[in-house]
Structure formats: structure tokens, C-alpha cells
């Protein structure tokens, strides 16, 4: 084709996103992005572009969107600093197994090596941190590079991808006939792979031969949409199900077989009992990494291990494995369910054991949550959330003060991805951006973002983005005037020798009001519930700045602090 039928590289990029079913792009403008923005403006494509105030936030928004929708999240940013700022979100998505695509525009190919402003080797920068990555050097390569990126992101273990888009090739011509995509690659997991039937049979036999089995689920079960089949297997065998932090939502928190989070962040002494007592652990979509296993303290040596994962590299990485199965979690569990149905029935008494553990764990929690102390105890904040949040809500937490408490004590009555936290790399400032991405992905759900005041300082500029979007997100800031996690660690590990972890107490409610967010500051425990109810009822963004007990003084469910 020639003449008016031709399109340029920027237009081809937009059309390729459209061809893969992309409906939202989060990003920040820059000089090298002028042709891309012009294409987004002038073409009829059905893609909503959300202008952010920080490239980190743009990638976190794409991440939150991907987690609640199962669709590829897309973000974009300019060259130089934009590419470096977008990087934290890409590594988090990649290591957490979520499909996020970052498009960073770049200086012109013709300028490479001439020391132009914002020159950086984007391909080298992104290579170790993404599942797939390239800087496109010719406009006619754009369609096939986009197709390759989508295929890489959504097949096998999902992950992130990066495409560099130099300025000059955005103007160069692309043949329209080359611009096509496979809509199914806009979702993950795509092209699911079934496991070997013989290995499933061995896993079923091994499981039924155990005396005290425990299932430990990572995020892979929810990513694959296998919650319902797992619940049927657990109920058939009356078998307890524990999770990693990322695996929350595998069962509803209130399910009688839901033990909850185990390990060092959100696990408790009570839940750890089942981990150390198990004679067999069935890891499902779980890497068996340091947090879930309390630095590999359990499963104990000699515990039998069955491990199912879409990624062959995690099986047998940390524990000798009796049966290792590579396959999509939903397909694998459907086959395991059929294999168990053909074998003699067994019951492991999981519900009774879980009920005892939960009763002891929540007796301690409830006593703390009921106290009227000032500053307010974090337990009271979580208990109030449990009473007021609808089950359909989405909660996003930064990795600081709020994270272990919500991990341990949330009481959500539905399974599925209703809780998001960035557990792979734990960067502060994640929750604000990710919560807006989650709202765009699931606009009918109430979205609540939990963060410490340290995280608030990282990210508060994008409150303006939230206000511009009109998103009715409620932000809850745990205000303790310190980087509380590090201060609590200094108490536990360094005999309370505190150094450079405290900062001035900010009135975060006033900061948020400056952006146009309806805000409250709460220091009296009795005021917390009525204020939270008002915030949840508002039809726009709200923020509650809660003056909370310092983390180093709290009974946080972080096992290395609890001894």
C-alpha cells in the first residue's frame, strides 16, 4: 500500500496496542514522546491514556490494573530519566509474575553515540529486569516486536516486557498490512500448558499417603484462576490451605480451611504450628522463598514436598522434591481433582485444626483491637476495615506498617485477587499508583490503599492524578513519623540502637486537601470508625491520616520481631 494508506511508526504502535485489546495506557509525556502522543490524540482507537505525575506511578498503575483484570497492563514514559524511573515497576511486575509492558520513547537512532541529551542504553538497562526487552531500531520492526513482547509476557510464567521506541522511527513509514495482533495475547495466562498425567497420578498418591499434609499457595493459583478447583480439592480432603502473602485470595479469609498467611510477614506463631508439623507440603504456584518459609526454617528437613508451578526453575530450587510438576495451575489442579476422585477417600481433619488456630490467633488480635490507646493501635485500624469493607473491595498495601497486619488479620469473605501488595521487591510508594490502576481495572469495586507516612512521602504527587480521574479511592495513612519497619528491625536486631529512621510528623490530611482530596486526621480511637464510614461513602477520593502506635512498640505479626 502507498500514499494515504501508509502509517508512521507512532501510529503503528498505537494500532498494535489496539490489536491486542489494550484499553488503558498510563504514562508521562516527554520530548521524545511527541509523535506517540500525537498518534494517541488523532487516531480513533478506544484507548484511554491516563497522564500521571511520575513514571514510577505509571508503571505501578499498570501493575495494579493487570493484577485485578488478568489483562496486560501498559505504561509509557520518555527517554533518560523517564526510562530509569519506570524501572522499579517493571522489576516488581516481572518478579511477581504479572504481565506489564513499558514503552519508553528514546532519542533518535541517528543520534546514538553523539552524546545527545537523555541518552541511555535502554536495552542494557532493562535486560536483567524484564522477561522480554528490545529497543526497536527500524519502524518496520514495530509490529513483530510488539507481537513478540505480548507473547512473551502472557505465556508460561507471566512477566514484564520493555519496548524502546526511538524518536526518529516514530515518523518512519510502516506497512499497514503488517499491523495485526492476536487478541488472546492481551490476557494472561495464555496458551496454558497441561502437566504430564503420570506426574499428576504420582502427586495424588503421595498426597493421600500423608498424615498431616498442608497446602501452601503462592500467587500462581489466583493468577491462573484456580481458586474454585483448589477449594473443591481442599474440601474433599478436609485439608488446610495456607498462603504466601502473594497467595492471599486463594481461599476466602473466612473459609473454614483457610489457615491464612504463613511465614515471616503476616504469619503468626499459631499459623506456623501447621507449617512445622506438616509431614507433607504441597506448594502450588509458590516459590518457597525466604518470607513464606521464614528463611527456609520450615518445611523441616525430611518433610515430603510436592510442587506444582508454571515455572520449572522454582521446582526443587530450595527443597528436595518428591514430585515436581510443571504446568498451568488451573489445568494441573483440575487433573489432580479427577485423579483424587478415582482414589479412596481420605479426611485430614483440617477444618478442626484451623478453627483452633484461628480462635487463638484472633483472641489475641481482638483484645488489642478493642483497646482505646492513643496513639491508635494498628490492630484497631484493621479490625475497623474488617467491619466496614464490602467483600468485593480491593485493598492495596505498601510494604510498610500496614502490610503485616493486613496479611495476618484481614477477613475477606470472597476468594480472588482482592488484595495487592508489592512483595517481590517491596519498594515504598507503590500503593497509591497501584490503587488507581486497580480502580481503572475494576471501577465497580471500592478500592482502599493502605500506606505508611514514609510511603506517602514517596508518592503523594499522584494524588492530583487520582483527583483528576475522580476515582473514589480511600487512602489510609499509618502515621508514626518514622520509617517504622527499619526502626522495628533496629530494635530487634541492634538492641534498639536507632539511627536516622525518624522524620518530622507531617499533617498528611492537609497535604491531601491541597490536592483536592477530602481528608480527615484521626488521633482518638473512638473517631476512627465513623470517619472511615464517611470516607467509604464519599463519591470522590478520600484520605484518613491515622496517628498510630510506633511500629517498634507494636505487636506486629513479623516473626523475627516476636521472639
Residue with cell 483528576: 468
**Could you give the CA distance from residue 37 to residue 270 in angstroms, rounded to a whole number?**
54
The answer to whether residues 124 and 238 belong to one domain is no
Domain boundary among 159, 186, 213: 186
Helix H segments across 370-480?
378-388, 402-409, 430-441, 453-459, 463-469
The answer to whether residues 208 and 179 belong to one domain is no
Domain count within the chain? 3
Asked if residue 360 is part of any domain, the answer here is no
The answer to whether residues 14 and 42 belong to one domain is yes
The answer to whether residues 470 and 406 belong to one domain is yes
**Could you give the CA distance from residue 55 to residue 59 in angstroms, rounded to a whole number?**
6
Asked if residue 361 is part of any domain, the answer here is no
The answer to whether residues 17 and 162 belong to one domain is yes
The answer to whether residues 260 and 325 belong to one domain is yes
Average pLDDT over residues 78-84: 95
Report pLDDT for 1. 32
Residue with cell 500506606: 451
> b/e per residue, 405-420, with b = 16+ CB within 10 A?
bbbbbbebebbbbbbb
Report pLDDT for 2. 36
> b/e per residue, 240-255, with b = 16+ CB within 10 A?
bbbbbbbbbbbbbbeb
Which triple of cell numbers denotes residue 454? 514514609
Contacts of 556 (CB under 8 A, 6+ apart): 378, 401, 404, 405, 488, 562
Domain boundary among 296, 320, 352: 352
The answer to whether residues 313 and 345 belong to one domain is yes
**Residue 3: is its pLDDT beyond 50?**
no
Give, in order, the Cα–Cα distances in Å from 45 to each of 11, 15, 16, 21, 29.
10, 7, 10, 10, 19
Q: Of 198, 230, 203, which Cα lies nearest the Cα of 304?
A: 203
Cα 247 off chain centre by: 10
Beta pairing class for 241-243 and 213-217: parallel
363: exposed, middle or buried (C-beta count within 10 Å: 0-12, 13-18, 19+)? exposed
Cα 320 off chain centre by: 28
Q: How many residues does the chain have?
A: 563
**Could you give the CA distance from residue 79 to residue 107 in angstroms, rounded to a whole number?**
7
The answer to whether residues 142 and 216 belong to one domain is no
**Residue 270: is its pLDDT beyond 70?**
yes
What is the per-residue pLDDT across 497-550, written as a single tens digit (0 to 9) for each? 999 999 999 999 999 999 999 999 999 999 999 999 999 999 999 999 999 999
Domain boundary among 186, 212, 245: 186
The answer to whether residues 128 and 233 belong to one domain is no
Report pLDDT for 5. 72
Asked if residue 359 is part of any domain, the answer here is no
**Could you give the CA distance from residue 141 to residue 512 in angstroms, rounded to a whole number?**
45
Determine contact, residues 146/164, Cβ cutoff 8 Å. no
Output the pTM of the full model.
0.96
The answer to whether residues 344 and 441 belong to one domain is no
Report pLDDT for 563. 58
The answer to whether residues 552 and 458 belong to one domain is yes
Q: Is 520 helix (H, G, I), strand (E, B) or coil?
A: strand
Asked if residue 463 is part of any domain, the answer here is yes
**Residue 407: is its pLDDT beyond 60?**
yes
The answer to whether residues 127 and 217 belong to one domain is no
What is the per-residue pLDDT across 483-501, written as a single tens digit (0 to 9) for each? 998 999 999 999 999 999 9
Instruction: Tell me the residue range of the domain where 522 lies.
Output: 370-561
Average pLDDT over residues 195-200: 98
Determine contact, residues 61/27, Cβ cutoff 8 Å. no
Helix (H) or strand (E) holding 558: none
Q: Which residues face 522 on adjacent strands?
A: 546
Average pLDDT over residues 369-373: 94
What is the per-residue pLDDT across 271-289, written as a single tens digit (0 to 9) for each? 999 999 999 999 999 999 9
Asked if residue 223 is part of any domain, the answer here is yes
Amino acid at each position: 500500500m502507498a500514499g494515504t494508506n501508509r502509517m508512521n511508526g507512532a501510529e503503528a504502535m498505537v494500532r498494535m496496542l489496539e490489536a491486542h485489546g489494550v484499553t488503558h495506557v498510563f504514562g508521562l509525556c516527554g520530548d521524545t514522546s511527541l509523535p506517540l502522543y500525537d498518534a494517541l490524540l488523532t487516531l480513533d482507537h478506544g484507548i484511554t491514556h491516563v497522564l500521571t505525575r511520575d513514571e514510577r506511578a505509571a508503571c505501578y498503575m499498570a501493575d495494579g490494573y493487570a493484577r485485578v483484570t488478568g489483562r496486560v497492563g501498559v505504561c509509557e514514559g520518555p527517554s533518560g530519566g523517564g526510562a530509569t524511573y519506570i524501572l522499579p515497576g517493571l522489576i516488581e511486575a516481572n518478579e511477581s509474575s504479572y504481565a506489564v509492558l513499558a514503552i519508553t520513547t528514546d532519542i533518535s537512532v541517528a543520534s546514538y553515540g553523539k552524546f545527545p541529551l537523555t541518552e541511555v542504553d535502554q536495552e542494557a538497562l532493562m535486560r536483567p529486569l524484564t522477561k522480554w526487552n528490545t529497543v526497536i531500531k527500524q519502524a518496520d520492526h514495530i509490529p513483530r516486536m510488539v507481537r513478540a513482547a505480548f507473547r512473551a509476557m502472557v505465556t508460561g510464567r507471566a512477566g514484564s516486557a520493555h519496548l524502546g521506541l526511538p524518536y526518529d522511527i516514530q515518523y518512519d513509514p510502516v506497512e499497514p498490512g503488517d499491523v495485526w495482533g492476536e487478541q488472546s495475547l492481551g490476557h494472561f495466562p495464555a496458551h496454558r500448558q497441561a502437566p504430564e498425567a503420570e506426574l499428576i497420578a504420582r502427586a495424588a498418591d503421595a498426597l493421600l499417603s500423608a498424615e498431616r499434609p498442608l497446602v501452601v499457595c503462592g500467587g500462581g493459583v489466583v493468577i491462573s484462576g484456580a481458586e474454585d478447583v483448589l477449594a473443591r480439592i481442599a474440601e474433599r480432603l478436609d485439608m488446610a490451605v495456607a498462603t504466601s502473602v502473594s497467595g492471599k485470595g486463594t481461599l476466602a479469609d473466612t473459609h473454614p480451611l483457610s489457615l491464612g498467611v504463613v511465614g515471616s510477614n503476616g504469619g503468626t506463631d499459631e499459623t506456623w504450628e501447621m507449617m512445622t508439623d506438616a509431614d507433607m507440603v504441597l506448594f502450588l504456584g509458590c516459590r518457597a522463598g525466604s518470607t513464606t518459609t521464614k528463611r527456609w526454617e520450615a518445611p523441616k528437613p525430611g518433610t515430603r514436598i510436592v510442587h506444582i508451578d508454571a515455572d520449572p526453575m522454582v521446582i526443587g530450587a530450595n527443597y528436595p522434591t518428591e514430585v515436581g510438576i510443571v504446568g498451568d495451575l488451573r489445568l494441573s489442579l483440575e487433573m489432580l481433582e479427577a485423579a483424587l476422585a478415582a482414589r479412596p477417600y481420605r479426611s485430614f481433619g483440617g477444618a478442626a485444626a484451623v478453627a483452633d488456630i484461628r480462635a487463638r490467633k484472633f483472641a489475641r488480635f481482638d483484645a488489642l483491637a478493642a483497646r482505646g490507646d492513643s496513639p491508635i493501635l494498628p490492630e484497631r485500624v484493621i479490625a475497623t476495615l474488617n467491619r466496614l469493607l464490602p467483600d468485593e473491595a480491593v485493598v492495596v498495601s505498601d510494604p510498610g506498617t500496614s502490610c503485616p497486619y493486613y496479611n495476618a488479620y484481614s477477613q475477606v469473605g470472597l476468594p480472588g485477587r482482592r488484595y495487592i501488595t508489592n512483595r517481590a521487591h517491596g519498594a515504598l510508594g507503590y500503593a497509591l499508583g497501584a490503587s488507581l490502576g486497580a480502580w481503572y481495572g475494576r471501577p465497580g469495586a471500592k478500592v482502599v490503599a493502605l500506606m505508611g507516612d514514609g510511603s506517602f512521602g514517596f508518592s503523594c504527587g499522584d494524588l492530583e492524578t487520582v483527583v483528576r480521574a475522580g476515582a473514589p479511592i480511600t487512602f489510609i495513612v499509618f502515621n508514626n513519623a518514622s520509617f517504622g519497619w527499619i526502626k522495628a528491625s533496629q530494635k530487634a536486631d541492634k538492641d534498639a540502637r536507632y539511627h536516622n529512621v525518624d522524620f518530622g510528623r507531617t499533617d498528611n490530611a492537609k497535604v491531601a486537601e491541597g490536592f483536592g482530596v477530602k481528608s480527615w486526621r484521626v488521633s482518638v480511637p473512638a473517631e476512627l470508625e465513623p470517619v472511615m464510614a464517611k470516607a467509604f461513602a464519599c463519591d470522590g477520593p478520600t484520605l484518613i491520616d491515622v496517628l498510630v502506635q510506633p511500629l517498634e512498640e507494636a505487636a506486629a505479626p513479623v516473626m523475627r520481631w516476636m521472639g
